[in-house]
């Protein structure tokens, strides 16, 4: 782990369409900098699995590839930010996804005197996104992400991180929902690139490159902004 001293909790945002590599890069940032990945997609999937009220409301929306209501997502994130493990800092993965969520985040951070260190936009074209989503799978035990072509485990079917042998694919990673997820991204989330550019925290990264090249860029700019 990088031993750079932080004087306050870091706040990084990973922006980008579904399949851009946000989760992949977030896990690598966790390992290197000791930050905590907060994925609203993961938090919502947990809520669905637990059958909470929020999960019940979100299930069909997620299956259709649309965005869950701002109210539900903001409440889930606000609660998660209260947990003690986020004290060193967070990597927001998949949040914010609308201007209203971005404004809510500004308010939440202002309450605790925090600020956004960087909004890193992972730029990929639509065709790459479809290819990445359709080959994605994860270890059911530890959540490590893999891809049929671009990131395979060293031993077929065995997780490099934990040795787990059960792999799973997401219910919404199918051709029927990709179009609506992409449409939601372009209509509702892409405007956040301008939102963060205007605030002077936007960092644009070419995410068409291989995972390790993207990681090199993302980690070096992270080291610059949080030290």
Q: How far is CA 137 from the centre of its chain?
A: 15
Closest-approach residue to ligand AMP (CB): 41
Using alpha carbons only, give the angle 102, 14, 62 rounded to the nearest 5 degrees: 75
The residues that bridge with 123 in the sheet, in sequence order, are: 206
Site for ligand AMP in 110-169 (CB under 6 A): none
Figure out which of the listed residues 40, 121, 138, 222 binds ligand AMP, where binding follows CB under 6 A.
40
The catalytic residue among 45, 80, 151, 181 is 181
- Which helix (H) or strand (E) segment holds residue 122: the answer is strand 118-123
- Please say which residue, 57 or 61, places its beta carbon nearer to ligand AMP: 61
Q: Which stretch binds ligand AMP (CB under 6 A): 58-66, 123-131, 205-213, 219-227?
A: 58-66
Asked if 97 is an active-site residue, the reply is yes
| Helix, strand, coil share of the chain (percent; to 5) | 50, 15, 35
Figure out which of the listed residues 44, 139, 214, 218 binds ligand AMP, where binding follows CB under 6 A.
44
The residues that bridge with 37 in the sheet, in sequence order, are: 91
Distance CA 189, CA 169 (A): 24
Residue 26 found at the interface with ligand AMP (CB under 6 A): no
Binding interface with ligand AMP (CB under 6 A): 18, 39-41, 44, 61-62, 65-68, 73, 94-95, 97, 101, 172, 181
Which of the residues are catalytic? 22, 97, 136, 170, 181
């Amino acid at each position: 782990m990088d031993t750079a001293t932080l004087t306050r909790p870091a706040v990084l945002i990973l922006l980008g369409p579904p399949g851009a590599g946000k989760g992949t890069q977030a896990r690598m940032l966790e390992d290197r900098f000791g930050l905590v990945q907060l994925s609203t997609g993961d938090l919502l999937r947990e809520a669905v699995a637990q059958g909470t009220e929020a999960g019940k409301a979100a299930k069909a929306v997620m299956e259709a590839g649309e965005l869950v209501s701002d109210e539900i997502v903001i409440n889930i994130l606000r609660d998660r930010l209260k947990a003690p493990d986020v004290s060193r800092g967070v990597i927001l993965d998949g949040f914010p996804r609308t201007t209203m969520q971005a404004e809510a985040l500004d308010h939440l951070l202002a309450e605790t005197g925090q600020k956004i260190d960087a909004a890193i936009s992972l730029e990929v074209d639509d065709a790459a996104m479809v290819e990445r989503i359709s080959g994605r799978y994860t270890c059911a035990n530890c959540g490590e992400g893999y891809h049929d072509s671009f990131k395979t485990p060293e031993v077929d079917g065995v997780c490099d991180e934990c040795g787990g042998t059960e792999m799973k694919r997401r219910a919404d990673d199918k051709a029927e929902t990709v179009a609506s997820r992409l449409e939601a991204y372009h209509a509702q989330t892409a405007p956040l690139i301008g939102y963060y550019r205007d605030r002077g925290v936007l960092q644009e990264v070419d995410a068409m490159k291989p995972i390790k090249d993207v990681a090199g860029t993302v980690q070096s700019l992270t080291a610059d902004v949080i030290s």
